[in-house]
Structure 1
């Protein structure tokens, strides 16, 4: 649901509200509708049909095969005219151009994105470019991409390039727990890592903001962190538990709420910047998004310790490290499968993370590529 909030701006010289000047700021908080439940996808046909009867289904090759029985059931029941298209090789500008041709060829009036973060980002951006409604159907709990009004663009080789802010969240999000449960456990663990970053980054990027929605977003991020600390071990151990359901809701839905409420005041900081830097290395592509982000949180805390002498960051990092060890998140470059990374590759990742427009510069101190490299390699290893 895209709300437009009218904010009456205060004059610089007074606390009085200027009632004659109104500035409209878009605030994309949440999808228009969220359907969630066990095997709810098969019951979602009516909600999908209300948005369009000629959907183009966008996903990866493997996901499109998995989802086909659901599509066949809904298509027959609702008399939809469907077509499918792969977003491969990545959420890249070239892929989007091919998909726009598929939209035209099919005369699509609805986009349905199915899969992980990149598939959903592609579908959202495609719908935005074609001015069509979009449905997101996540097949894992690895990210909150099914919720957000944001898409990340990568090269065809999988290197992060930039993100695109969209004018609204998806029109419909379908969270089918039965479908999510078929995903590898590793995807949920990665989603926990990605969701944890909401607190460690938003609490920094929000600064001393007194804006009501920013405060609400940061507090929700703290609640999200605490919930994940408490329930993640049991959730990872038992996908049939109530804890599992709550953690899935947290990583897919609550994490998205925080981004919607906080907006520009609660953006990513060093953890995601380090992820973006690592994506420039082909050898890092086997690690999931949330795994790289989780490692980035530890590096962000290590930077606070090294550059600021922040001792609270030391104890926080130690607490996180224990939690990572318990649920299986990476704590070092070695854990990410990068034990043989060269100095040149490390510098490439660090220099990208430190580019002038990088989110890393939302830290309250300056970081050089050399300092970032030192932080990345100096995290304690398990013995």
Structure 2
């Protein structure tokens, strides 16, 4: 048995650090190409261009088409080769960053991720989640190395929609829930080994930070305020969760979340929102779940506005037969659910999803103020 921990070479977070992007890119190469959407370009473009000009760099850029498909990654890699780029910079949300990572590997470039929202933990990871052109989940692929530099401007994150920030907390909360489950079987992590004690410690720290600072941080971001609590949760969503999930382990929470992407009703849901329901499903599935802790997690997810019921996922009318497609894949070969220390069956997963919905509905009635 071997233990493996993987991580980016450098992680930079702080107010206004986007203004230093040129100096950091210059550590990696001289001819950067930036992958971003028109919306992201409008938000951060002037800051990025000014910093690159100050560093004496003349970047190329390419517009992200919206989905992290294999065809999109190949298109971006070809564009990078055409301009002779030596550094790939992915700016924006998770799908843009995942595409940039894949394109960097294909083109043999150095890699920087620059998230503009803290909605998931992809910025630090050496993996890409693949979707088709219609947004259906197709799988994920692990790359040989993590990004060289992760640059996180906290002020940009704090000014992004609060929904994205809360979604990131959902993704981060799964880190400990899944890592703890996977460690019981010493399951192989995405780095190709068993989790280190360091990864488990980071995963637990992510959980503890969320429980202590998450609600306060969400309130601040709702008003576009950058406070110490927000800084802690940005680091939790991006760094602690990223290292914790990749070097800790995954299980039912992400398996269910990924499969929810294939339901038309969930097309407009963010990744962390689907993970939220994956978490409560896993808690209802796992025979070792502490009921008091489970209820605390339900209440936390409700407090930050994440889904714990089918109705909140736009799936109010879903039936057992529709859910069976999720259960069958979860119980099938190659499923992340195999990382549990007990047998996972299709009926067991469906029962857990329905139990989570029932408990979520019950816990919602206990809340004095419910966020939607």
Same fold (TM over 0.5): yes
Residue 312 of structure 2 aligns to a residue in which SS? coil
Distance in 2 (CA, whole Å) between partners of 1:105 and 1:284 is 37
- Alpha-carbon displacement from aligned partner over 1:50-69 (angstroms, at most 9, x marks no partner): 32222111123322332321
The answer for the alignment partner of 1:103 in structure 2 is: 80
Distance in 1 (CA, whole Å) between partners of 2:310 and 2:38 is 30
Residue 146 of structure 1 aligns to a residue in which SS? helix
The answer for the alignment partner of 2:237 in structure 1 is: 251
Matched, 1:225 2:207: yes
TM-score (norm 2): 0.88
Distance in 2 (CA, whole Å) between partners of 1:201 and 1:342 is 26
Q: How do residues 271-310 of structure 1 correspond to structure 2 at under 5 angstroms? A: 271-304=253-286, 308=287, 310=288
Change beyond 3 A, Cα 1:26–1:137? farther
TM-score (norm 1): 0.85
Matched, 1:323 2:300: yes
Distance in 1 (CA, whole Å) between partners of 2:130 and 2:55 is 33
Distance in 2 (CA, whole Å) between partners of 1:249 and 1:73 is 26
Q: How do residues 1-383 of structure 1 correspond to structure 2 at under 5 angstroms? A: 29-207=6-184, 209=186, 214-238=196-220, 239-259=225-245, 263=247, 266-304=248-286, 308=287, 310=288, 312-341=289-318, 343-379=320-356, 380=359, 381=361, 382-383=364-365
Unaligned 5+ segments in structure 2 are 188-192, 366-372
Give the count of matched residue pairs.
351
Normalized per residue, the structure richer in strand is 1
Residue 232 of structure 1 aligns to a residue in which SS? helix
The answer for the alignment partner of 2:368 in structure 1 is: none
Change beyond 3 A, Cα 1:166–1:215? same
- Alpha-carbon displacement from aligned partner over 1:178-226 (angstroms, at most 9, x marks no partner): 1111211111111111111111100111116599952332232222211
Distance in 1 (CA, whole Å) between partners of 2:81 and 2:42 is 23
Deviation at 1:102, TM superposition (A): 0.9
RMSD: 2.2
Unaligned 5+ segments in structure 1 are 1-8, 10-24
- Alpha-carbon displacement from aligned partner over 1:329-351 (angstroms, at most 9, x marks no partner): 21111112222335554333333
